[in-house]
Structure 1
């Protein structure tokens, strides 16, 4: 179960933002209210500083520390988390790109547990640069864990970023890329995906490790208006590039297949057809006050 700090404060407005974005079909939009924001110049300066820091002994020491923290957190926080479908990826010995639904700042822990069960030693995570400036403990993890930042600099994104991905994949490791882009807190439904993850899978000729996390409400209370939530990771069929296709055609085909698999996994897990009408049950664990629930019901009539 994800740490209690994740459901404290600001969730009412975030859920309202999710509902509005879903109703307007903006499934990749930002909905969080307190994410760090940097100007383009600040992003460029911060990225240059971060890339320089990566070569220092201090960074390397803290990287080891944060990887051990993630190992411990996975064992403790997610001790009851189930992982199903590992037989689908038992023959993957090389590198690959993992895609999964994005519903929490710490949902990478669920993927981390899955990767460990695949006998992979590390999981790298592609993340927006601003996330490295989150305050407190989460910011520390984002800065020193195996994070590959996205940045605004064209030279970095055109040369250094893909080089970093290739080096990791050549080492037969896995990279998590959130193809839904923005995090939607505890949102159960798979959202339409963007092409980036599939472009790099096609470019570097590696499979997509297609995943979907199911969330089940538990009877225990996590915090005001939220129950605790259990997680079931569904590892779906891997998606391979077709050697007969160009990178663009491959990426589009892989993107379409991955989204279809995630939609099918949702319908199987929840035993309901997927549609994007917003319902209070779309937010796992949420117990909305009656006034909010009635307002949601009224908005659907």
Structure 2
């Protein structure tokens, strides 16, 4: 399996670190009054037209840019009943546009995704919200309203995508340790986790030499995994996090991943 092994990006010391600096701040406050899932008519109207543009223009362009291929869509049909009841997906976060690839890969489902609060305050705030971004509140006053919005969304059959690694590392092949949040949500709301992974392909001459493209992307869609209700809650969370990480590694064709499955102040390993 192709590994880009690029030195272009300043991966951080800790595996959950963000290296992209967000300079703009629109001042949004994610407190108990913020509409984490906006149901207003005005937002729905904007979202309808944005999603139309998204489907007709943005997704085709991003697919070309990523060189996207999708494997495992048959699993969506096979597990339609599980998805209909509400589901949480996780995937390695390896490109600024990789959520677009996920949206295309799981069509016709319309997922929402958890986003770093600084991103929703940044320059792409409006398109991220219209595309389904839900900010994770960085203050206690917003946690109750946020949790209720997530609960209601999942219980209504929603699809929530979580980047379990905690941050984006572009073109990075190893699967970084997972934060416990994905499993925590799955247990709290009794929903399955659908693992996915991005793998890379070597670009052809034109993309590699003329367009300087580092790699092409393949999205691999797995099958749902469920919590083990015979364990206590803490053990369920550990077990589900480990199994979700293992599933993503397997989809990425990585047999001996260099990282532990659960984040524990884990540091970057220089393997090349």
Fold similarity call, TM over 0.5: yes
List gaps (5 residues or longer) in structure 1.
Answer: 1-10, 280-301
Residues 36, 131 of structure 1: 8 Å contact kept: no
Bigger Cα Rg: 1
* Cross-structure match for 1:112: 103
Partner of 2:113: 125
Match of 1:100 in 2: 91
Quote the Cα distance in structure 1 between the aligned partners of 2:103 and 2:248: 19
CA distance 1:155–1:238, change in 2 (3 Å): same
Counterpart secondary structure, 2:35: helix
Contact preservation (8 Å) 2:178, 2:241: yes
1:83 alignment partner in structure 2: 70
Output one character per residue of 1:56-83: Cα deviation in whole Å (capped at 9) or x when no partner: 4432222222322332322443266322
SS in 1 for 2:125: helix
Q: Which structure has more helix as a fraction of its residues?
A: 1
Q: 1:189 to 1:52 in 2, by over 3 A?
A: closer
The TM-score with structure 2 as length reference comes to: 0.79
Q: Distance in 2 between matches of 1:267 and 1:178?
A: 19
2:207 maps to which of 221, 229, 251? 221
| Contact persistence 2:17–2:167 (CA under 8 A) | yes
Contact 1:97 1:207 (C-alpha < 8 Å) held by counterparts: yes
Q: Contact conserved, 2:220 with 2:252, CA < 8 A, in 1?
A: no
Superposition deviation, residue 54 in structure 1:
3.5
Give the TM-score of the pair, scaled to structure 1.
0.72
Cα deviation for residue 224 of structure 1 reads: 8.1
Partner of 1:286: none
CA RMSD of aligned residues (A): 3.0
| Ranges of 4+ aligned residues in structure 1 off by more than 6 Å | 222-225
**Aligned counterpart for 2:228 among listed residues 242, 267, 270:** 242
